[in-house]
Amino acid sequence: MVDKVRFAAACARALLRKPEGGGIGLLGEKALHSALKYYYEPDASCHEREAFGFVADIKNSDGIIEIQTRNLFSMKRKLGVYLENTPVTLVHPVIHRRTLIYMDPDTGELSRPRLSPKKGRVEDAYSELVHIREAVGSNNLVIVIPLVDAEEYRIREAGKRRRRGGNADLKFELLPTRLISETVIACPEDHLRLLPEALKREGGLLPFTVGELSKAAGLPYRTASAMCAVMISAGALRRRREGKSYIYEEANENIADTDECDCGQGRKPRPRTGNGQ
């Protein structure tokens, strides 16, 4: 359950923290990362702890919590070692709405806030999860996807030309402002719940192609393809060839839509959220 009060407090602690080097281009990711650390574990003594030859974002009595805002492929080795030894909660946030604010590099003057038309969705996380899909079937792994609103501060670097259709010449600071929801994925059934109702039937799923998933969910084809790949690795879907197409269907047609899951762990694990909650 989303605790908006605790999230606001975590954001405040992140903004008041002592900067740890780097420039404004790095500060944006650190602010979001820091806020989520304080949200999932308010006790700072549990932050940045040594674990199995690496440094964990959070290490407490429940195991390890790793917060990765992007580039999940970069933590494959670290995650593999952790999963062999302890329960791991992987937190991967998705930005729901961005409010864009531009800063003049000479005067520091801020532009009027502008809401980006793009809306992030929980399903967007699969574009990153596909890079660690070998790990998603582990009974030691719980994935948490917070959906977050944020203010994005952009600064155009003097003397650099903007690339066509991109923001490569902009550095940014990303400040979280609101926690919309949290999606917890602890077993195959949790993945299946994210599939659109148009692909479901009583007692299971209708067979579908990546194209049909893309259309039914309103997702880019590439994201739909990533979802299918991850769900196969998680044991939620299986794939078969039919003519020139691949057909995806439920791996276990007897899966029940309940709050309990048959993932070898009994009751679904939940990430620690501080203060015994």
pLDDT digits (tens, 9 = 90+) for 221-237: 999 999 999 999 999 99
Both 47 and 151 in a single domain?
yes
Both 163 and 86 in a single domain?
yes
Q: What tokens appear for 198 in the block?
A: 């148009």
Instruction: Single out the residue in 135, 151, 186 at which a domain terminates.
Output: 186
pLDDT at 256: 41
pLDDT at 110: 86
Residue written as tokens 């792994």?
141
Both 69 and 179 in a single domain?
yes
Instruction: Single out the residue in 186, 203, 236 at which a domain terminates.
Output: 186
Both 87 and 150 in a single domain?
yes
**Residue 21 confidence class, pLDDT cut points 50, 70, 90:** very low
pLDDT at 26: 35
Give the mean pLDDT of the chain: 85
SS3 141: strand
Both 86 and 205 in a single domain?
no
Q: Is residue 29 part of a domain?
A: yes
**Alpha helix segments (H runs only) across 109-220:** 126-129, 188-192, 210-217
Per cent of the chain over pLDDT 90 is: 68
Both 149 and 80 in a single domain?
yes
Both 117 and 230 in a single domain?
no
pLDDT at 231: 97
pLDDT at 238 over 80: yes
The whole-angstrom separation of Cα 120 and Cα 70 is 14
Q: Is residue 16 part of a domain?
A: yes
CA distances from 101 to 70, 71, 79, 152, 173 (A): 22, 25, 35, 6, 10
User: Domain of 227: which CATH number?
Assistant: 1.10.10.10
SS3 39: helix
Average pLDDT score over residue span 118-141: 96
Give the closest residue to 59 by CA, choosing from 48, 72, 70: 48
SS3 125: helix
Determine the residue type at 108.
G
pTM recorded for the entire structure: 0.84
Both 71 and 153 in a single domain?
yes
Both 51 and 110 in a single domain?
yes
Residues 37 and 67 sit within 8 Å (Cβ to Cβ):
yes
Q: Is residue 271 part of a domain?
A: no
Both 177 and 226 in a single domain?
no
Which of 106-120, 130-144, 154-168, 234-248 shows the lowest mean pLDDT across its residues?
154-168
Q: Which domain holds residue 209?
A: 189-250
Q: Is residue 66 part of a domain?
A: yes
Q: Is residue 260 part of a domain?
A: no
CA angle 104, 9, 179 (to 5 degrees): 75
Residues 10 and 17 sit within 8 Å (Cβ to Cβ):
no
Average pLDDT score over residue span 248-268: 54
Instruction: Single out the residue in 186, 209, 230 at which a domain terminates.
Output: 186
Q: Is residue 277 part of a domain?
A: no
Residues 189 and 255 sit within 8 Å (Cβ to Cβ):
yes
**Residue 220 confidence class, pLDDT cut points 50, 70, 90:** very high
Strands 114-115, 94-103: parallel, antiparallel or unpaired by DSSP?
antiparallel
Instruction: List, in order, residues 6 or more apart from 104 with CB less than 8 Å away.
Output: 110
For the chain, how big is the Rg over CA atoms in Å? 20
**Residue 261 confidence class, pLDDT cut points 50, 70, 90:** very low
- Report the domain count for the chain: 2
Q: Is residue 257 part of a domain?
A: no
Both 147 and 180 in a single domain?
yes
Q: What tokens appear for 9 in the block?
A: 């407090």
Q: Is residue 259 part of a domain?
A: no
Both 103 and 209 in a single domain?
no
Q: What tokens appear for 174 in the block?
A: 């990303």
